[in-house]
Structure 1
Amino acid sequence: MEENPSVDPKSGHLLISEPFLQDENFVRSVVLLCENNENGAFGLVLNKLSILKLGELIDELNFLDCEVYVGGPVEQNTLHYIYYGEQLLEGSIKLGDQLWWGGNFEQLVSKLKLSEIDLGKIRFFIGYSGWSEGQLKSEIDEKTWIVSDSTYTNYILNSSPEELWRVILKNMGGEYQVLANYPIDPRLN
């Protein structure tokens, strides 16, 4: 497992915010990088729960009491989703071992209505995190983000939003294990 690769991180990598990052959008956040190319980067914050439920956003799914996460501060009027397992939707993009991003929205709604998707293996997001060309690399060089090439899929979908940041750092081992225990405000320690 490679941490903080010297090259730009790739789709499927995780960006883990450094312990003292004060940007309210990214405090103690874990971002799944979905795309990173010459035009910029796109990712989803995995551990910031919104107050909305999926059924409140999509009329056809008003019977679903499924949590929705805040994927980031950009375009919070958009819905994104990732899922684990075999490819279920046409057009989904593979991010890692059995981890998929997006896909045919009509298929998604249909499969959800027919209970053909395990809600424990899918996560929904409003908005996303975006970086302009070179911005993410600059932030990584400034040590704003810890990069991991492992998606820790089992932790992504099975850890509480409050614990995900710590769980992933602990499992990265070494110096990262120590960072996992840093208090949010060291003055209060």
Structure 2
Amino acid sequence: MNDQITQNMKGKFIMAMPGLPDPNFAQTVTCLCEHNESGALGFIINKVHPLLTGRELFEDLGITCNDNVDKIDIFLGGPVQPSGVFVLHCGPFQWNETLKISDWLALSNSRDILEAIAQGQGPETFLILLGCAGWGPMQLDNELSDSAWLTCELSREIMFETKPDLKYEKAMMLI
């Protein structure tokens, strides 16, 4: 079996094929943040948490926040590490724990970015996500070769400016 990844999908969207049986990923758009021989890491960007608000999240974390946080959606980033809090964001990229994904997108999961967002001082564009999606070595590659996923380039418009319930349809149009 070939253990070299055939195409690095870091910085791409993957969309679940219609009819994908896994309920965690049905009708989802996932932003891939890392993809190498060790596996892959991504975040579902179109599933808003049905109950949790920005204010509740910051209060749970003991972070002082202003009233702007009432408008912040919290997304369900995936079934792995469901209590982990992650931020996909545009610049600036100076936060303590930041992984650059593309020239305009990064992933952070440090307290400093969350405190800045809670005070309205964070990046201008961001998504806060609970949990992530993870794949073991070659798992995503095998799923891609089995046609479980459709792929396309990342889109800032889809990620940050499109309503969550329209992201899947819009991403599908990029294929």
TM-score when normalising by structure 1: 0.79
- Cα RMSD over matched residues? 1.9
**Counterpart-to-counterpart distance in 2, 1:128 and 1:67:** 16
**Distance apart, 1:7 and its partner CA:** 2.1
- Asked if the contact 1:15/1:30 (under 8 Å) is kept, the reply is yes
- How many aligned positions are there? 164
**Alignment partner, residue 148 of structure 2:** 144
Deviations 1:24-53 (A, max 9, x none): 111111111111122211110010111212
Give 2:86's aligned residue: 80
Residues 54-106 of structure 1 deviation map (CA, whole Å, 9 limit, x = unaligned): 22122224542211101111111111111123324243221113111115x23
Render the CA deviation track for 1:109-135: whole Å, top value 9, x for unaligned. Answer: 34224422256x110111111111111
Distance, in Å, in 2 between the alignment partners of 1:25 and 1:139 is: 15
Find 1:135's aligned residue among 139, 144, 148: 139
Read off the aligned partner of 1:145 and give its amino acid letter: W
1:108 corresponds in structure 2 to: 113
| Structure 2 equivalent of residue 176 of structure 1 | none
The answer to whether the 8 Å contact 2:114/2:122 transfers is no
Say whether the 8 Å CA contact 1:61–1:113 is kept in structure 2: yes
Q: Which deviates further from its counterpart, 44-53 or 91-100? A: 91-100
Q: Secondary structure at the match of 1:81?
A: strand
- Structure 1 gaps of 5+ residues are 1-5, 173-189
Residues 1-189 of structure 1 aligned to structure 2 (within 5 Å): 7-51=6-50, 52-59=52-59, 60-61=63-64, 63=66, 64-65=69-70, 66-102=72-108, 105-117=110-122, 121-148=125-152, 150-172=153-175
Q: Do 1:56 and 1:62's aligned partners in 2 also have CA atoms closer than 8 Å?
A: no
With over 3 angstroms needed to count, the CA separation of the structure-2 counterparts of 1:159 and 1:92, relative to structure 1, is: same
Q: Secondary structure at the match of 2:25?
A: coil
Distance change (3 Å), C-alpha of 1:158 and 1:141:
same
Runs ≥4 residues deviating over 3 A: none
State the shift of 1:21 in Å.
1.2
Identity level (%) = 23
Which letter maps to 2:78?
Answer: G
Q: CA deviation at 1:153?
A: 1.2
- Does the CA contact (< 8 Å) of 1:50 and 1:69 recur in 2? yes
